[in-house]
Chains A and B, each alone.
Chain A
Amino acid sequence: MLHQNLEWFFPHTTEEAVKLISQQGVILHGGGTRILKTSPKSIKGLVDVGKLNMNYIHHSGNKISIGSASTYDEVIRFSARTKKLSMLVKALSEAASTPLRNRITIGGSLKDFPIWSSLYAPLLALNAQIEIADKHDKIISLEEYLETGIIKTKHLIKRIILEDDPQVIGGVKRFVLIRFEYPLFTVAVALRTKQNIISDARIFITGVKGRYKHCKRAEHFLIGKELNDENIQQAKKHFAPKFVSDYKYSAEYKEHAAKVFFTDLLQELKGTVK
């Protein structure tokens, strides 16, 4: 249960919001779904992001900016209109149910990074950048945001920035038993190809030991090669995420399943190589 004397703040500027969250026990409120799931008594105040003008999706040149207060549903609708962000939208449209997708915000999901997140793997594979505000505004890669531990500090995520590169093909797979349940893991692959040869690759998996893994060995193997059956089978040997056993699945089973998903994903991408 949240505290009965909870204090609400409705700032109009990000500077004001950042100042407010520097107080102990005061956190940001986007859609509120995660706050209600955990409901810690330690929360003394909530800073609503509704008046910060962070609910937008802009496409300018080869950049797409997604304001952090945008909901999953709004990103899905943008994609339906523009045919952009298909890889990200595949993951988002399978995450949670329709009424929850109308509430869950991109910023809230990034800040919390639950183990079942469907958002992180595709964004990391697409080499997303994020603009954050703490003492100063800065733009950093999402990977740096995780690696350097900024995610654990008090800050406000203003927007995600993605490159709209027609040379990049990608896909995402979530291990679920029914469509919108929490995935056991999510694997995402983004490849840049030129004349059937992979010139760049980014491969990430979430839901693993340590929450996420950048699969660099598999990437190095694939770069400079053609995406054919033989190379896909070889790439599988370089893809070895580590899991933790739980009450349902052993770590070995999850690793095996992840390898199957990874090769299936590469097989699907094989048909779309430019």
Chain B
Amino acid sequence: MKLPFKINNKQKHLELLPNETLLQALRNNHFTEVKCGCNEGECGACTVLLEGKPVNSCQVLAMSVQEKEITTVKGIGTLYTPHLLQKSFAEAGADQCGFCSPGMVLASYSLLKENPQPTREEILVALDGNLCRCTGYVKIIDAVEMTAQKLHSNKLVME
């Protein structure tokens, strides 16, 4: 069946089955920026924002979120128009293989939108559902701090 969803601020129709997770529904409809890692809600590679909050899309049944705002990493910035946070990830060397990056970026984005000047501890808690198996976490946390610093020094609001 084909059902309407609000993804990245646009109305989209997704072809899906009633037993599919949001992850399956998104990837089967070309939102391949949402990555499939463990499929058990442990790794965070499939993170999307649901009404602005990070969730594991592999742990959400698609049918239950039809009227909610869904944001994938392409909803905050693209290759040609990257978000400040995505630029910081690149500058800090916080993406090696890049598989965890969409989830890391979205979890960080949600944190900074709510709390533009987080402590290191608050960053650790916000990223506790996202695993990285190659870059390590130091550069990722640095990238979040770097973004917070840029927001502060340029008096910017997280968009």
Which A residues lie at the B interface, using CB under 8 A? 1-8, 29, 31-33, 35-37, 46, 48, 50, 73, 97-100, 102-103, 179-180
Contacts and interface: CB of A to CB of B under 8 A. Distances in A.
Given A7-B18, A29-B64, A36-B61, A100 B41 contact: yes
21 contacts: A4-B18, A6-B19, A8-B18, A29-B61, A31-B60, A32-B60, A33-B59, A36-B41, A36-B61, A48-B63, A73-B53, A97-B42, A97-B128, A98-B107, A98-B125, A98-B127, A98-B129, A99-B44, A99-B47, A100-B59, A103-B55
A2 B19 contact: yes
Interface of B: 17-19, 21, 40-42, 44, 47, 50, 53-56, 58-61, 63-64, 107, 125-129
B129 A99 contact: yes
Nearest to A74: B53
A231 to B, nearest CB: 36
Determine which residue in B59, B127, B129 has the highest number of CB atoms from chain A within 10 A of its CB, and name it.
Answer: B59
Determine which residue in A50, A97, A103 has the highest number of CB atoms from chain B within 10 A of its CB, and name it.
Answer: A97
A100 B18 contact: no
A2 B64 CA distance: 14
A33 B128 CA distance: 17
B95 to A, nearest CB: 19
A53 to B, nearest CB: 15
A32 B44 contact: no
B61 A35 contact: yes
A36 B21 contact: yes
A97 B18 contact: no
Nearest to B21: A36
A178 to B, nearest CB: 10
Given A4-B19, A99-B56, 15 more contacts: A4-B17, A29-B61, A32-B61, A36-B58, A36-B59, A36-B61, A46-B64, A50-B64, A99-B54, A99-B55, A99-B107, A102-B50, A103-B56, A179-B128, A180-B128
A8 B58 CA distance: 18
Contacts of A46: 61, 63-64
B56 A100 contact: yes
A246 to B, nearest CB: 20
Contacts of A31: 59-60
Contacts of A98: 54, 107, 125-129
A29 B66 CA distance: 14
A103 B61 contact: no
A103 B59 contact: yes
Nearest to B50: A102
A112 to B, nearest CB: 14
A1 B127 CA distance: 29
A-B complex: 8 closest residue pairs judged by Cβ atoms:
A97-B129, A2-B19, A99-B129, A6-B18, A102-B53, A99-B54, A6-B19, A32-B61
A179 B61 CA distance: 27
Contacts of B126: 98
Contacts of A33: 41, 59
A32 B128 contact: no
Contact of A1 (B19, B44, B60): B19
Contacts of A180: 128
A1 B17 CA distance: 12
Nearest to B66: A10
Nearest to A50: B64
A73 to B, nearest CB: 7
A108 B138 CA distance: 36
Given A98-B126, A98-B128, A102-B54, A5 B18 contact: yes
A9 to B, nearest CB: 10
B85 to A, nearest CB: 17
A214 B125 CA distance: 32
B129 A100 contact: yes
Contacts of A36: 21, 41, 58-59, 61
